[in-house]
Amino acid sequence: MFPENPHGAGPIGIAFPTHVTLLYKTGTNEVLPLCPVILKNGGEWRPAKIHRATNIPVNPFHISKRDLHEYRNFYLTEFVEIGDVLGAVVPKHERPVAITAPVSGRIVHLGAFEGTPLGPRACPFLIAAMPDIDCILAPEIGTFIGYTDDQNLPIGLVGNIVKSNTAIGSVHFLGGQSADVVAPCDLVILRQYVNTGQRVDFNSRLFLYTPLC
């Protein structure tokens, strides 16, 4: 609600829609509920940065100037997982307060730039909450090896559409044995937690995905 204006009959507030429609290259549409990120306290806004190699947000106060080239800004429709750091509010004469994603979903509104002063109850992000998210887990303890497609690109690349029963990679374990990591359905890769050559534990998370209905 806006402060009351005694000099006219203007609007007293803004009512945002409760849902948003995302459009995909496949021609499908997805209607998702909107979740605002509301600040409890005001201060100067410092957005998180996305690590280019992992596509995972990192607290801006944990990044050295020397490594800044390894990071980028948020994109619209960027996927964030619940608990991911979105940025930090710096109250005057106080320590920064990290702001995290309340839900998993895609960012559909960026409401503040670097250094923007924000008040309590400000909304620096709107997230389209994605209810249908699941993980592909490691079938064995061993070393993960990712597979590539005909263009020598990783099948498990973030954003890729993977068909059901496609082998995304494999886990190699004792005795020269291996177990394929297979897509359980037609899906879109949202996040990759491991790289080729990395050791994994049984049932550890390899990929995060959303199914294609």
The answer to whether 163 and 135 are in contact (CB under 8 A) is no
At residue 7 the predicted structure's pLDDT band, cuts being 50, 70 and 90, is: low
Backbone phi and psi for residue 175, each to the nearest 5 degrees, phi listed first: 80, 15
**Overall residue count recorded for the chain in this entry:** 213
Question: Which letter, b or e, does each residue of 33-52 get, where b requires 16 or more Cβ atoms within 10 Å of its Cβ?
Answer: ebbebebeebbbbbbbbbee
Q: What is the mean pLDDT of residues 8-23?
A: 78
In CATH terms, the fold of domain 19-129 is OB fold (Dihydrolipoamide Acetyltransferase, E2P) (2.40.50)
Q: How far apart are CA 37 and CA 85, in angstroms?
A: 12
Q: What is the mean pLDDT of residues 175-189?
A: 94
Give the right CATH number for 134-211 from 2.40.50.100, 2.160.20.10, 2.60.40.1080, 3.40.50.720. Answer: 2.40.50.100
Q: How far apart are CA 131 and CA 200, in angstroms?
A: 27
Pull the structure tokens for residue 39: 């600040």
In tens, the pLDDT along 25-52 reads: 777 788 999 999 999 989 999 999 999 8
In tens, the pLDDT along 82-117 reads: 999 999 999 988 899 999 999 999 999 998 999 999
**What pLDDT is attached to residue 174?**
87
Q: Strand, helix or coil at 48?
A: coil
- For CATH 2.40.50.100, the residue range(s) in the chain are 19-129, 134-211
The answer to whether 108 and 114 are in contact (CB under 8 A) is no
